[in-house]
Amino acid sequence: MKQTNSTPHRKNRERARQFAQMSDNIYLPCQARVDEIIRENDQVLTFVCSFEDVLCNKDFSYVPGQFMMVSMPHLGEAPISFSSSPTEGTGFRLTVRRAGRLTSAMHELKPGDQIGVRGPCGTPFPVRELEGSNLLFVGGGIGMAPLRSVVQYALANRERYGDITVLYGARTPADLCFRKEIGLWRRQGVTCLLSVDHGDENWTEHVGLVTELLDQVQVSPASDRALVCGPGIMMRFVLQKLVTLGLEPGSIWTTLERHMKCGVGICGHCHFEDRLVCWDGPVFSMAQLPDLENL
């Protein structure tokens, strides 16, 4: 099995430096303010946030694929991926589906309210390594949130990347997120194919599984890199299909979801074989995933 820790000490120092920007205490959240709340659909909101501390805002940097540990009063913390790109100005966006107690409480927030945040945590998508390649995004449901971060990043650095294709599936048209942005992406030359399990009378695009959209695009193993995120079962089938279309496992990237407490590779909750998803991931190349059963 391929090992990821090629230069662990340099990586650790860099990560420690990132944290040191915010605090010398890796468990101490900073105060962030919710500046704006965007309703994506009934279950999903996007929180546009910035730090209360002006210096934090100035020093803060992240890379698509990383995440924040978000604190809500009395409810502890949960890991939430950035849905924004650092190229979109100061602060950051978190796109959150109402799923448990903490995320439900987030849905009660109003603009101006504060949340606690720690981070950025995790290993990002290899945006530098992807330069020069065509990017094929395959998202399912709320899994589109971390992929949006990379799409925005690639559009902001358009000359560095080849063709951009977004395949996005959800259960119903009402479950799709980022509808407005998908329109903007299309106008900027991004191929966007949408799919839902169950359409309605206004739905004119594909009905079925997101894997079926892969039949509608030309995949070129030499120049394409795939970025996949969605429910475990969807990811398993998409990854398998991408391999049958000829993509190397090392050219396919995905981001995993796990229960996390510390976010910095100590507490042990997010183990995935000998890796810790919060530290070695959440972004993994398919070549690093030992099997696809427990995504």
Partner 1 sequence: METRILHKDHLVPLLRRLSRNYRLVAPVRNEYGDTLYSVIHDLDSARIDLDQQPQGSLKPFFFPQSEVLCQYALDRNHDGGQTRYAFYPQLPENRPTLYFGVRSCDMMAVMYMDLIFFQSRGQDIYYARHRENAVFITIGCNHPFPNCFCNATRTGPFLEHGYDLQLTDIGEQYFVETGRARGRKIVEAWSWFFSTAGERERRAQFQAALEARGLFSSLVHVDLAIKLLEEGDEPTAVFTELSRRCQDCGGCAFICPTCTCFNIHDQPRTDDSGERVRTWDACTFRGFTRMCGDHNPVDVETQRVRKRFLHKLLHDVRHHGRTSCMGCGRCVGMCFGGVDMIRFITMMCQYEAAQETGE
The binding site for [2Fe-2S] cluster comprises 262, 267, 270, 278
89: its two tokens: 């100005």
Q: What angle do CA 259, 262, 89 make, to 5 degrees?
A: 95
Residue 175 in the binding site for partner 1 (CB under 8 A): no
| Binding residues with partner 1: total (CB under 8 A) | 52
- Beta-bridge partners for 69: 79, 118
Closest distance to partner 1 from the beta carbon of 290 (Å) = 10
Q: Are 207 and 233 in contact (CB under 8 A)?
A: no
Closest distance to partner 1 from the beta carbon of 30 (Å) = 8
Residue 233 in the binding site for partner 1 (CB under 8 A): no
Look at residues 128, 73, 120 and name the one whose alpha carbon lies nearest to residue 94. 120
Tell which positions 66-85 bind partner 1, by CB under 8 A: 71, 73-78
Tell how far CA 193 is from the center of its chain. 19
Closest distance to partner 1 from the beta carbon of 82 (Å) = 19
Q: Is omega for the bond preceding 120 within 30 degrees of 0, making it cis?
A: yes
Tell me the window of 38-46, 176-184, 242-250, 273-281 that interacts with partner 1 (CB under 8 A). 273-281
Residue 63 in the binding site for partner 1 (CB under 8 A): no
Q: Are 95 and 148 in contact (CB under 8 A)?
A: yes
Tell me the window of 40-48, 100-108, 174-182, 217-225 that interacts with partner 1 (CB under 8 A). 100-108
Residue 54 in the binding site for partner 1 (CB under 8 A): no
Q: Measure Cα distances from 272 to 26, 269, 275, 293 in Å.
A: 22, 9, 5, 12
Residue 142 in the binding site for partner 1 (CB under 8 A): no
